[in-house]
Chains A and B, each alone.
Chain A
Amino acid sequence: MKDFITPDTGTQIGTLALQNPIMPASGTFSEDLADVFDLDVLGAHVLKTIMHGMRAGNPTPRVCDMPSGMMNAIGIPSKGIDDFRDRMLPYWAGYGAPLVVSISAHSMDEFVRLCEAVSLPGVAAIEANISCPNIEADGRAFAMRPDTTHTVIERLRGCTDLPLWAKLSPNTGEPAEVGRAAQDAGADALVVANTMLGMSIDVASRTPRLGNVMGGMSGPAIKPVALRMTYQCARACHIPVIGCGGISTLEDVLEFLIAGARAVQIGTATFQSPTIMARLVTQLRDWMAAQGVSSLGEIIGTLEIPQAADGVWA
């Protein structure tokens, strides 16, 4: 047997201590997964985005395949705040893992109202999904620009004492600036990132493959984009970054940690393999033990960039 060490997989997201860095991405997780494995092995539980009122969601088809990934236009069907308070919150209180509630809205006032309403005992953190269209800004997502990101996060910061995570969008040309805007407005952590806007057409019928015409790409195909943004945000900001986008294997998890993420969210991979998160928790611990890595601090943000030698392309 190798030198025996018990690696510490714990990680700290602001004031919130997680037993390991593996958690679900919003929208790919629900109590239904408890049919497959013990959900308390996870670092945190991140719920599907809720909006204030009842919403039906988009027309079907809501999902389609693409090479190394999928697209979705589910449309945030939501049973609203009452269902969250009366049914979901008591259910999740039965678990030990911290509960992260994802919220979204189409306007600033609606966002604030919802944020106040979900700031309840039993909620460990609020993830603000600022990637959905803002009706007051011609349908542009809050997270597309630093100024709208700053405004919405500042408003949310003012109405909750819970840790506030800002979930950024890859549909921006200035991720570091958006990340800094969220940080300056009082976010406790950044989740980097969300799905990328895409589209697919069935040639035979000349119809869109998604009922909503456009949808969000996810899965391994977008992993390099999410990894690049994680690196950019971790470099630009001092608050913790949580990587999210196409993470499917232990190597993917390690890549995001090395790029500077303190934790990761697993989304689409769970659709292909619903056991993946439980297996990643075990694989990470086993890998750390085998490598003699005693804590995640020895991995996070340890990217080494070789100095360009003469004759190598600048």
Chain B
Amino acid sequence: MTHSPTVMSVPVPQGLRARCSEATCRVVSNTPVNGEYRLLVLDAPPEVLDCQPGQFFQLLCPAPENEHPFLRRPMSIYGYDRRAGRLEFLYKVTGAGTRGLATLRTGDAFNVLGPLGHGFSMPDTWQNLMLVARGVGLATLAPLARLAHEKGRKLTAICSARRADLAMSVALFESFGAEVIVVHDEDASSTPEALRPLIEARIAQGTVDAFYTCGSARLLRLLQTLATTHGIPGEVAMEQQMACGLGMCQACVRSFRVGGEVIQRRVCREGPVFPISEAME
């Protein structure tokens, strides 16, 4: 039987609508992308498709054999298309939750909660954008690249991976008009020492107004240094283990440096996107 995507019906205050919804989606496809990643495409109701790049969903993952992923798993949005009713996640199978995701088959019902958190910002003064990400962090930046392209911004994307053939989304970034630079561990082009002159050359050309990053503490550190040295703003999407994803449980706190003080913020609520200058490891 084919399941139609629906949202859980709950009363909302008069005149308002829910900021996020719990929805039952239908799996359109769930296929391997390369050796390490899988792409989950969902048929989703419009109520959950008013998304911003950088936002995430809480996924109720099915239990794989002999494992018990009780809590929902946070996952950043890889793609969303309100007109087509499509919601996409690109994931790497690493634990009980993602092993459960890998068991989903076409036609299965799948419960998601979202969209959640605050996404990336893109002020008009940021015309030349540099995206620097590694591994599955590239998936998080994919919808940002699409939006930047739609807004006519110029993009440079540095895609870091263990091996060149594992670099994700290269063709996708290129289709958004990005200059794509693939760096990897095998030839050591992905080290901060190798990346620094590469990025600084572009800063010298005046083609970097802002940085966006995700997926690597080492890259974040490098960009923090460059941001301070060259006075370039930027944003990072951060991760933390979560329970509720809404801000209630306070499980997902991280430390941030704000105005000389170290404060705790919830990644799910105040984030997952934060100013690069405030992030701490």
Interfacial residues, chain A to chain B (CB-CB below 8 A): 27-30, 32-38, 40-41, 48, 56-57, 60-70, 72, 74, 77, 219, 270-275, 278-279
| Known contacts A35-B20, A37-B10, A69 near B251 by CB under 8 Å | no
Partner of A62, one of B20, B68, B246, B250: B250
Determine if B69 is an interface residue (Cβ-Cβ < 8 Å).
Answer: yes
The segment from B11-19, B121-129, B191-199 that touches chain A is B11-19
| Known contacts A272-B70, A273-B22, A72 near B249 by CB under 8 Å | yes
B253 touches A35 (CB 8 A): no
* A137 CB to nearest B CB, Å: 27
The segment from B142-150, B167-175, B236-244 that touches chain A is B236-244
A37 touches B68 (CB 8 A): no
Interface residues of B in 233-281 (CB under 8 A from A): 240-244, 246-254, 264, 269
A70 touches B11 (CB 8 A): no
Which chain B residues border A27 with CB–CB below 8 Å?
249
* A209 CB to nearest B CB, Å: 10
Size class of B's contact patch? 35 or more
Partner of A60, one of B96, B253, B269: B253
Determine if B71 is an interface residue (Cβ-Cβ < 8 Å).
Answer: yes
Can you list 13 A-B pairs, Cβ within 8 angstroms, ordered by A?
A28-B249, A29-B248, A30-B247, A36-B19, A36-B21, A38-B10, A62-B241, A65-B71, A72-B249, A271-B248, A272-B60, A274-B246, A279-B10
CA of A30 to CA of B250, assembled, Å: 10
Determine if B204 is an interface residue (Cβ-Cβ < 8 Å).
Answer: no
CA of A82 to CA of B160, assembled, Å: 47
| Known contacts A37-B18, A279-B10, A66 near B68 by CB under 8 Å | yes
Which chain B residues border A275 with CB–CB below 8 Å?
8, 10, 22
* A108 CB to nearest B CB, Å: 27
Per-position binary interface string of chain B over residues 1-12, scored 1 when its CB falls under 8 Å from any chain A CB and 0 otherwise: 000000010111
| Known contacts A32-B246, A77-B250, A38 near B11 by CB under 8 Å | yes
B251 touches A68 (CB 8 A): no
Which chain B residues border A65 with CB–CB below 8 Å?
68-71, 96
Determine if B157 is an interface residue (Cβ-Cβ < 8 Å).
Answer: no
| Known contacts A74-B250, A278-B11, A36 near B22 by CB under 8 Å | yes
What is the number of contacts between chain A and chain B, taking CB atoms within 8 Å?
116
CA of A38 to CA of B11, assembled, Å: 6
Interface centre among B243, B252, B264 (most CB of A within 10 A): B243
CA of A33 to CA of B268, assembled, Å: 13
| Known contacts A60-B240, A60-B253, A270 near B248 by CB under 8 Å | yes
B251 touches A72 (CB 8 A): yes
Partner of A271, one of B8, B10, B20, B243: B243
CA of A175 to CA of B11, assembled, Å: 38
CA of A32 to CA of B266, assembled, Å: 12
| Known contacts A67-B70, A77-B264, A41 near B241 by CB under 8 Å | no
A70 touches B18 (CB 8 A): no
A63 touches B13 (CB 8 A): no
B70 touches A70 (CB 8 A): yes
B250 touches A35 (CB 8 A): no
* B241 CB to nearest A CB, Å: 5
Closest residue of chain A to B72 (Cβ to Cβ) is: A272
Determine if B113 is an interface residue (Cβ-Cβ < 8 Å).
Answer: yes
Apart from A32-B248, A37-B12, 10 more pairs, CB < 8 Å: A36-B19, A37-B18, A48-B250, A60-B251, A63-B242, A72-B249, A271-B71, A271-B244, A273-B8, A273-B111
